[in-house]
Amino acid sequence: MQIYLLRHGIAEDARSGQADAGRALTAEGKEKLRRVLRRAGAAGVRPASIVSSPLRRALETAAVAAEVLGYSGKVVESRALLPEASPYDLWEEIRRRVEEPAILLASHEPLMSAMAAFLLGSPALQLDMKKAAIVRIDCDRLAREPKGVLKWMLTPAVCE
């Protein structure tokens, strides 16, 4: 299975009284995200499913990904993609989708870098997941413990 970890794009600063969950992507955030996703699409990214955190900025990120990558399915929301969620819980969410060859997960830090380290079997790995960055990790089998291989990472800076 190809697993794509996509961190949300740049979001607006919280306004007075606004909940963190309601922060939207900025125009710059959407533009950088589109740039990264166009490059990912050119590299052959074709998710069989897109799963997103229920927070607005992640859902908007997932919607942009669906549009740019030509995904016509429904974006599924999952609490396993909240910023404070556990990589173990997210792994169980992935394992339930064993029949899917590729899955794109739209979420936040610190979960995205922690999930990359978890999938690669290196919990101490430090990964700088910039906003709008996408990482591809392949897992040949969806056993209890993942055994992934890092294939590539794209950031807005390398997609200019």
Residue appearing with tokens 């200019």:
160
pTM, entire model: 0.95
CA 89 vs CA 82, 92, 107: distances in Å: 11, 5, 14
Question: pLDDT by residue (tens digit) across 104-146?
Answer: 999 999 999 999 999 999 988 999 999 999 999 999 888 888 9
Q: What's 44-57 look like in SS3?
A: CCCCCEEEECCCHH
CATH topology of domain 2-159: Rossmann fold (3.40.50)
Question: pLDDT by residue (tens digit) across 16-52?
Answer: 777 778 788 999 999 999 999 999 999 999 999 999 9
